[in-house]
Chains A and B, each alone.
Chain A
Amino acid sequence: MPFVANFTATQPVGEPSVITLTDTSTGSDGAITQRRVYLREADGSFLVPSRTTTDYIEWDYADSTIDIDVLDKDYALQVVVEWLNVGNAVLYDKTSLELFSSYDEDFDYNTTQQLTGNPLLFNDNRFFLEKSNLRTFLDSAERAILRASDQYGAQECLDGATALRLGSRYFFNINA
C-alpha cells in the first residue's frame, strides 16, 4: 500500500507552550528513516526550541507523536513535516496552517471564572468590552485560517488577544 503522508497538530490541555504532532500517515515506505518538522511564523522565520541550531526539529521515526515545547505566546504557524531517507532526501512532505491559541483561550476562560465569582463584573463596561474584544480576536484568528488561509491576518488577531492578556490588570482589573 503506498505511503500517504499526514499528521495532526494539537495542544495538550493545560500546556499552552506545547505543540503535539501525531503522525497519521497510511501505508508504508521502507526507505523512510527520519522526520523533520518546520514551524514557520507569519513573518517567514522559523520557530525552534531554545538551543536548537537548525531551522527544523528532529522527529524520531520510532515515535508516532512528538511534543514540542516551543510556544511563548499564541501563534498561527505553517507546520511542515518531512519524511526523509537515510541520505536526508525528502521523500514526502505535508504542510498545514495551524492555529495555536491555548494561551489566550485559557485566559478567556479565566475571565469567565472571574465572572462566576463576581457576576457584577459583567456590568463593568470595561470588563465586558474587553472580554468581547478578546473573543472577537480569537474567533477572527480562527476564521482567518479556516476561510482564507490567511496566516498573517490570523497572527495579527492573536497578537491583539495577547496584548489584552498581558495587560489584563489594566483591561480587566485581574492578573493573567
Chain B
Amino acid sequence: MTVAEKILIAELSQYISLNAINKSGLWGGGEDLSLPRKIYLVRKGVERTYNQDPTDTTLFGTSNLMMALCGAYQFIAQARQNSGGAVVPISVGSGPSPLDFIVSASSYAVTGATSISIPQFIGYEIIFARGGTVQYTTPQPGGSAYYSWSSATGILRLLPDPGGALTEGEAIHIQPIGVTSSSATPSIYPFTITSADFEADGVSYNNAQIINDNICLFINNYSSNVLYSPTDFVFTATGIEIIDDGFNANTFDYTILIQKLN
C-alpha cells in the first residue's frame, strides 16, 4: 500500500471508528475513546510531510504507525472505499432479485438460524441489512452482530455464533451486487471465517480460492497485529496454515478477517 493510500484509509478510519464508538454506548464498547482523535493527529502530520516530499524516508515508519492506529477499522475503510460506502445500491440489469423477509418459523431463514443458504446469489457479493441497518463483515465493538458471506458457496453466516442468530419478527434484506461474467470473477475479499472453519489440527484452513493470494489475516481476540505470510502463516496445497505461536482454533472461538492486499 502506498503512503497516499494509507492516508486515505486513515481519513476513512477516523470517522468509521468515531461512529463505531458512538454507537457502542458508554465507554465505547471497550474501544479507546480517543482513538479517532489519535488517528487524526498522526494523519495530519503524515499528510503534510507527504505533500511536501513524497520520498521522505521517515514516512515509512510514521505511515505504518498511522495504519497500526487504524487497526481493524482499516479493513472496513478499504471495503467502504471499494463499495462506495454503506449505501444499498440500485440493482440494474439482469440478476437475481433481492431477498426480503420477516423472520418466522416458516420464513426463508427461520428463527434461530445462524446461517442462510442462498444458492441463487452464488457469484455475487451482497449487501445485508437486518432491522433496516446495513451490517458489517467485520467484528464490531460491543459484540454487535456482523456476518460473513461466501460468493463461492452462497452461504451467509450470521456472527457471532450464536449471538448473531435470527430473531423472530426481524426484517431481513439481502441485496446481490455486482454481475458475474465469463471474464470477470467477483472478488471474495474481504471475508471472515471462524474457528469452526479450521481443520482438526486447529491451524489449517482449506480454501482453494485463496492459495498464494497476497492476503493478510486479522484474528479477533487473539492479537492486535495483522498476520502476514510467510512469517505468521504459510500456504499449503489446499489453503493456509497459521504458524504463529500460540494460535489454535481448537482452544478458542476466533473470528478471522481475511483481506487481500494490493
Residues B41 and A131 in contact, CB atoms below 8 Å apart: yes
- Which A residue sits closest to B38, measured CB to CB? A122
Q: Which residues of A contact B49 (CB under 8 A)?
A: 109
Q: Would you call B41 and A113 a contact (CB within 8 A)?
A: no
Q: How many residues of B contact A (CB 8 A)?
A: 19
Given known contacts A122-B38, A128-B34, A112 and B46 CB-to-CB distance under 8 angstroms: yes
Tell me which residues from 61 to 82 in chain B have a Cβ below 8 Å from any Cβ of chain A. Answer: 61-62, 64-65, 68
Q: Which of A11-30 contact B (CB under 8 A)?
A: 13
A139 CA to B45 CA, complexed, in Å:
12
A102-122 interface code vs B (CB 8 A; 1 in, 0 out): 000100110111011101001
**B45: which of A108, A128, A132 is its contact (CB, 8 Å)?**
A108
| Interface status of B118 (Cβ within 8 A of chain A) | no
Residues of A within 8 A of B68 (CB): 119
Inter-subunit contact B62/A113 (CB<8 Å): yes
Report whether A115 and B53 are in contact in the complex, using a CB–CB cutoff of 8 Å.
no
Residue-wise, chain B 32-50 has the 8 Å CB interface mask toward A (1 for contact) of 0010011011101110110
Which residues of chain B have C-beta atoms less than 8 A from A115's C-beta? 42, 65
CA distance A13 to B62 in the complex (A): 18
Q: Does A143 contact B (CB under 8 A)?
A: no
How many A residues are at the interface, by size bracket?
Answer: 10 to 19
Do most interface residues of chain B lie in helix, strand or loop, or is the interface mixed? Answer: helix
Are B37 and A113 in contact, with the CB atoms below 8 A? no
Select one of A13, A116, A135 contacting B44, CB under 8 A: A135
**CB contact list, A120-175 vs B, under 8 A:** 122, 128, 131-132, 135, 139
Partner of B53, one of A13, A112, A139: A13
B52 within 8 Å of A by Cβ? yes
Q: How far is the CB of B228 from chain A (nearest CB, A)?
A: 19
Within 8 A of A (CB), among B57-105: 58, 61-62, 64-65, 68
> Are B48 and A109 neighbours in the complex by a CB distance under 8 Å?
yes
In Å, the complex CA distance between A105 and B44 comes to: 10
Q: Which residues of A contact B65 (CB under 8 A)?
A: 112, 115-116, 119
Give Cα A146–Cα B64 distance, bound, in whole angstroms: 31
Say yes or no: A116 contacts B62, CB within 8 Å: yes
Which chain B residues lie closer than 8 Å to A105 at the CB level?
A: 45, 48
Q: Please judge, given known A-B contacts A13-B52, A105-B48, A119-B65, whether A112 and B38 are in contact too, CB under 8 Å.
A: no
In-complex Cβ contact of B38 among A109, A111, A128 (8 A): A128
Contact of B42 (CB < 8 Å), options: A13, A112, A117, A139 = A112
Pairs A-B, 3 closest by C-beta atoms: A109-B45, A116-B61, A112-B45
Residues on B facing A (Cβ under 8 Å): 34, 37-38, 40-42, 44-46, 48-49, 52-53, 58, 61-62, 64-65, 68
30 A-B pairs with C-beta separation under 8 A: A13-B52, A105-B45, A105-B48, A108-B44, A108-B45, A109-B45, A109-B46, A109-B48, A109-B58, A109-B62, A111-B45, A112-B42, A112-B45, A112-B62, A112-B65, A113-B58, A113-B62, A116-B61, A116-B62, A116-B65, A117-B61, A119-B65, A119-B68, A122-B38, A128-B34, A128-B38, A135-B40, A135-B41, A135-B44, A139-B44
18 more A-B residue pairs beyond the given contacts A109-B45, A113-B61, A116-B61, with a C-beta to C-beta distance below 8 A = A105-B48, A108-B44, A108-B45, A109-B46, A109-B49, A109-B58, A111-B45, A112-B46, A113-B58, A116-B64, A116-B65, A117-B61, A119-B68, A122-B38, A128-B34, A131-B41, A135-B41, A139-B44
